[in-house]
Amino acid sequence: MELNDANLQTLTEFLRKTLDPDPTVRRPAEKFLESVEGNQNYPLLLLTMLEKSQDTVIRVCAAVTFKNYIKRNWRIVEDEPNKVSDPDRTAIKANIINLMLSSPEQIQKQLSDAISIIGREDFPQKWPDLLTEMVTRFRSGDFHIIDGVLRTAHSLFKRYRHEFKSNELWTEIKLVLDTFALPLTELFKATIELCQTHATDVNALKVLFSSLTLISKLFYSLNFQDLPEFFEDNMETWMTNFHGLLTLDNKLLQTNDEEEAGLLELLKSQICDNAALYAQKYDEEFQPYLPRFVTAIWNLLVSTGQEVKYDLLVSNAIQFLASVCERPHYKHLFEDQNTLTSICEKVIVPNMEFRSADEEAFEDNSEEYIRRDLEGSDIDTRRRAACDLVRGLCKFFEAPVTAIFSGYVNSMLGEYAKSPGENWKHKDAAIYLVTSLASKAQTQKHGITQANELVNLNEFFVNHILTDLKSPNVNEFPVLKADAIKYVMIFRSQLPKEQLLQAVPLLISHLQAESTVEHTYAAHALERLFTMRGPNNSTLITPAEMAPFTEQLLNNLFKALALPGSAENEYIMKAIMRSFSLLQVAIVPYIPTLIGQLTHKLLLVSKNPSKPHFNHYLFESLCLSVRITCKANPTTVSSFEEALFPVFTEILQNDVQEFLPYVFQVMSLLLEIHSNSIPSSYMALFPHLLQPVLWERTGNIPPLVRLLQAYLEKGGVSIAGSAADKIPGLLGVFQKLIASKANDHQGFYLLNSIIEHMPTESITQYRKQIFILLFQRLQGSKTTKFIKSFLVFINLYCVKYGAIALQEIFDSIQPKMFGMVLEKIIIPEVQKVSGPVEKKICAVGITKVLTECPSMMDTEYTKLWTPLLQALIGLFELPEDDSIPDDEHFIDIEDTPGYQTAFSQLAFAGKKEHDPIGDAVGNPKILLAQSLHKLSTACPGRVPSMLSTSLNAEALQFLQGYLQAATVQLV
């Protein structure tokens, strides 16, 4: 694509169409952009547009499109073409910093993100001047520019907070510190001075405080891995100024908005984070500064109001206290009973109250509320921080803290009892307090695993929780109902089974509650209870115990999906999946009606897939329906196909990318249930599955390979008969997969199925070419994974076509090639093969080569006979060799970049392990003994003499054992 006005005009038109609400206009425009993004100059056209277009909307749209383009294509993946041409890469890096700094804020943010994505791949090796170019801008004095630099640096260095330690990382951080730490410190001091100079200019202060917040975030990232020498030497400068900023109160920066945190709050929150980092990680060095920070943060907590805008500040300040009180060093600061009482009274209890803002979120923004309360999302809430502080204090002061809070809990419950209608919030706070006091250790899988002995959980459950769950009106006091449900869920491992069974029907009735939070919690609690394991690793709650409630459970779960706000509620869908999994055959009578509801739901969500978890559980539920019903009666598979195929066809025709991997998995499951022929509906689809475009997306590869394997297994003969012209296409797929280090194993899965299931004559003409392709790959890049797969393949070939055929095909490619493969690959590498089926294939294949291949007995290959036998006995008896050469770091399939759905494996579409040899060979060791016996009777005296001259004693001993077990001997 040339950089000219005509192309700019075309792109502008298509970008405008991508914003159109009408899918018939939007989709083709998106497809067009996707089709041209591989062209040289495409990203430069986008940058030109975001710089020069007169239309702000188009500029922002170009910026977002550019960022997404970089996100998808910048990383260079081994074995895959470079998606951004080198001239474009150079031009982008040369211009993007200037462009970012001169753009308005909306665009600046997008470009800043793009720079950090490029930096993640190219900095420092391929973009060495990035930092110096940024640091020089600090001197510009223009804070719009400085802010842009700081924002970019923040998005670039943020990853230091969660990277694993490595030499590479240290080297990079050291380079960053050498270039960046001093200018950042100078900028920090200069900015603080400017704040004093402009103390009365509100607009200047806003810009300066925004920069101070970013500087504080950078401080956190650069200090996270270890305490750098530079910051240790300059601790006085940083800590004194941080302390000064914590205690600063400038009326001009106070906001009237009760919801949105102002600049002052954001800066102080980050400083609390920085202080907590130092208190936790570098307590010795930080000791001189700690008392003044504790005092400043305590004063901050006591004087800050209950408004939402202070939430982040308060929760970070409490987290600071929580991290300090857990350290033995600082225990003395909290020992005094008055201090503990004061903390409980002034910090913990007020921040556990359910505020009107929480009530609004509960009613009007339930998704956000659930994310915070149930999933413990990154949005730090006051309650979560207060709860962490309780846990921290309990580490050293469990008895006094429990005693102080027991008083509060009793008085709160007393208030509630006087007037439930008015004082229900008191009970809510009491339940929260009990929960935070009682929980010492928690896991996602089991809930609370360790509880405070001083709190009687069962008594509290019976007296205060069960009453709310049993109340006949599920819509009264929804917050307390949600609290009660959450209590059951959190303490499920602590409560006795009879109480959980008592709770199940009550939870089922709460699925009908109008409150989204309440019915979501009920679904989640049921799902968690159904996963609990009993003493013999079966589920704690059995299908028999669920029998009285099965119908109501399924009814209420599906009705809950129809409640407002829950059409795509992932918790309900997960509970449906888990109920199917628990109830197994008990769901069969209900499936005819339920499958209709599930397919209808699938049709709706496929129009615009937006909830990946919901969609995943929906497909899992479909798989379970198929699996459970067809296990009871395999002929029902056709009724599932009738129900599902119309929706699947629509998904395939509309190319709903997110759903294709799922559809292929469900189709494999259905096809694998058929006895031994392929229905015509599947055959009609077969040619479409070989289209190259489907194989371009990494997420499609594993499920598509499995689907093709199912086709070959059930209908190798019919493919050879009615679709023989498609065999080259099938082998083309194999050729593409085998060329990639990430997907070569998938290529072998496909090839092994072709060898196993296709009639011999249908692939005779292609065999030699297959081997040549494999050898080319071996010469080009030989990896351990490839060799393991290659060994399994040649031995499967030997099992299927015989040892003579294997020797002949190798020697037809190049004379004496068979001996080279034995000597260089099979004998030294067979120890690396892993997996029982794979080992069995190799053992049977090698046995055939040893005993059914005449040229092994009377040509120059004879010298390899004993080493090959030795290698086979090693495969039986030695531990697997799992060493991998240092230079092999595979690109994990999941790790390939871009927006394409990585492959999501459906647990309930799981494939049974297939053994191509099956019962024909029970024990390969016995087979070896019998085959050697047969060989020795054909040429008496040869085998024992070959063994006695060159097989080592240990191997010979093992072999004697096999011969005895098979009750045969060598002659």
pLDDT of residue 441: 61
pLDDT of residue 80: 76
Quote the percentage of the chain above a pLDDT of 90.
Answer: 76
Integer angstrom CA distances of residue 629 from 105, 343, 504, 600, 707: 57, 59, 25, 19, 21
Helices (H), 698-835: 701-722, 727-738, 744-757, 760-780, 784-801, 803-813, 817-821, 827-829
What is the rounded distance in angstroms from the CA atom of residue 237 to the CA atom of residue 215? Answer: 14
Of the listed ranges 66-80, 121-135, 506-520, 877-891, the one predicted with least confidence: 877-891
pLDDT of residue 763: 92
Is residue 415 scored above 70 in pLDDT? Answer: yes
Strand partners, 533: 539
What does the block give as tokens for 419? 């007037």
What does the block give as tokens for 364? 């009007």
Of the listed ranges 94-98, 130-134, 180-184, 674-678, the one predicted with least confidence: 674-678
pLDDT digits (tens, 9 = 90+) for 924-971: 999 999 999 999 999 898 999 889 888 899 999 999 999 999 999 998
Residue 385 makes CB contacts below 8 A (sequence gap 6+) with: 314, 315, 316, 318, 319, 322, 351
Confidence category of residue 347, pLDDT binned at 50, 70, 90: very high
User: Do 468 and 521 meet the contact criterion of CB atoms below 8 Å apart?
Assistant: no
Integer angstrom CA distances of residue 705 from 600, 689, 698, 774, 903: 28, 10, 12, 18, 12
pLDDT of residue 885: 66
DSSP secondary structure code for residue 309 in this structure: G
Mean pLDDT computed over 749-762: 94
Mean pLDDT computed over 170-174: 93
The set of long-range contacts for 7-13, using a CB threshold of 8 Å and a minimum separation of 24, is 7/41, 7/45, 8/45, 8/48, 8/49, 11/45, 11/46, 11/49, 11/62, 12/49, 12/53, 12/55, 12/58
Mean pLDDT computed over 784-798: 96
What is the rounded distance in angstroms from the CA atom of residue 306 to the CA atom of residue 309? Answer: 8
What is the rounded distance in angstroms from the CA atom of residue 681 to the CA atom of residue 714? Answer: 14
Smallest Cα–Cα separation from 852: which of 807, 821, 815?
807
Amino acid letter, 633: N
User: What sign results for the dihedral spanned by CA atoms 574, 579, 585, 587?
Assistant: negative
pLDDT of residue 449: 67
What does the block give as tokens for 367? 């998704």
Of the listed ranges 396-410, 590-604, 853-867, 897-911, the one predicted with least confidence: 897-911
Residue 355 makes CB contacts below 8 A (sequence gap 6+) with: 306, 308
pLDDT of residue 78: 75
Confidence category of residue 888, pLDDT binned at 50, 70, 90: low
pLDDT of residue 275: 97
What is the rounded distance in angstroms from the CA atom of residue 548 to the CA atom of residue 552? Answer: 9
What is the rounded distance in angstroms from the CA atom of residue 804 to the CA atom of residue 792? Answer: 17
Largest CA distance in the chain: 107
- 257: burial class by Cβ within 10 Å (0-12, 13-18, 19+)? exposed
Mean pLDDT computed over 234-246: 97
Mean pLDDT computed over 658-681: 92
User: Do 73 and 113 meet the contact criterion of CB atoms below 8 Å apart?
Assistant: no
Smallest Cα–Cα separation from 507: which of 492, 436, 586?
492
pLDDT digits (tens, 9 = 90+) for 275-307: 999 999 998 999 999 999 999 999 999 999 888
Smallest Cα–Cα separation from 446: which of 531, 377, 572?
531
Q: How many CA atoms lie within 13 A of 139 on its CB side?
A: 5
pLDDT digits (tens, 9 = 90+) for 3-20: 999 999 999 999 999 999
Is residue 524 scored above 90 in pLDDT? Answer: yes
What does the block give as tokens for 917? 């040899």
Is residue 900 scored above 70 in pLDDT? Answer: no
How do beta strands 439-443 and 447-451 pair? antiparallel
Residue 723 makes CB contacts below 8 A (sequence gap 6+) with: 683, 686, 687
User: Do 884 and 903 meet the contact criterion of CB atoms below 8 Å apart?
Assistant: no
pLDDT of residue 381: 84
User: Do 415 and 374 meet the contact criterion of CB atoms below 8 Å apart?
Assistant: no
pLDDT digits (tens, 9 = 90+) for 812-827: 999 999 999 999 999 9
Strand partners, 443: 447
> SS3 string of 882-929?
CCCCCCCCCCCHHHCCCCCCCCCCCHHHCCCCCCCCHHHCCCHHHHHH
pLDDT of residue 887: 55
pLDDT of residue 372: 85
What is the rounded distance in angstroms from the CA atom of residue 410 to the CA atom of residue 398? Answer: 18
Mean pLDDT computed over 844-854: 96
Confidence category of residue 245, pLDDT binned at 50, 70, 90: very high
DSSP secondary structure code for residue 533 in this structure: B
pLDDT of residue 911: 80
pLDDT of residue 792: 96
pLDDT of residue 442: 64
Integer angstrom CA distances of residue 407 from 344, 345, 401, 433, 531: 11, 11, 10, 11, 36
pLDDT digits (tens, 9 = 90+) for 462-515: 999 999 999 999 999 999 999 999 999 999 999 999 999 999 999 999 999 999
Cβ-count burial 3-20 (b if 16+ within 10 Å, e if not): eeeebbeebbebbebbee
Smallest Cα–Cα separation from 727: which of 693, 694, 772, 760?
760
Confidence category of residue 901, pLDDT binned at 50, 70, 90: very low
Which of helix, strand or coil describes residue 950? helix
Q: For residue 967, is it left (φ>0), alpha (ψ between -120 and 50) or beta?
A: left
Q: How far from each other are the two terminal CA atoms of the chain, in whole angstroms?
A: 77
Would you tell me how many other CB atoms lie within 10 Å of the CB of residue 113? 21
Smallest Cα–Cα separation from 711: which of 744, 684, 686?
686
Taking the domains of the chain in order of start, what are their residue ranges? 334-541
- Which is more confident, 898 or 678? 678
What is the rounded distance in angstroms from the CA atom of residue 842 to the CA atom of residue 539? Answer: 39
Of the listed ranges 415-424, 642-651, 855-864, 878-887, the one predicted with least confidence: 878-887
Mean pLDDT computed over 39-66: 94
What is the rounded distance in angstroms from the CA atom of residue 329 to the CA atom of residue 327? Answer: 5
Cα 777 from chain centroid?
31
What is the rounded distance in angstroms from the CA atom of residue 199 to the CA atom of residue 206? Answer: 11
Q: What's the mean per-residue pLDDT of the chain? A: 91
User: What sign results for the dihedral spanned by CA atoms 958, 961, 962, 968?
Assistant: positive
What does the block give as tokens for 454? 């001083």
DSSP secondary structure code for residue 345 in this structure: I
Smallest Cα–Cα separation from 621: which of 632, 613, 609, 610?
613
pLDDT of residue 903: 66
Quote the percentage of the chain above a pLDDT of 70.
Answer: 96
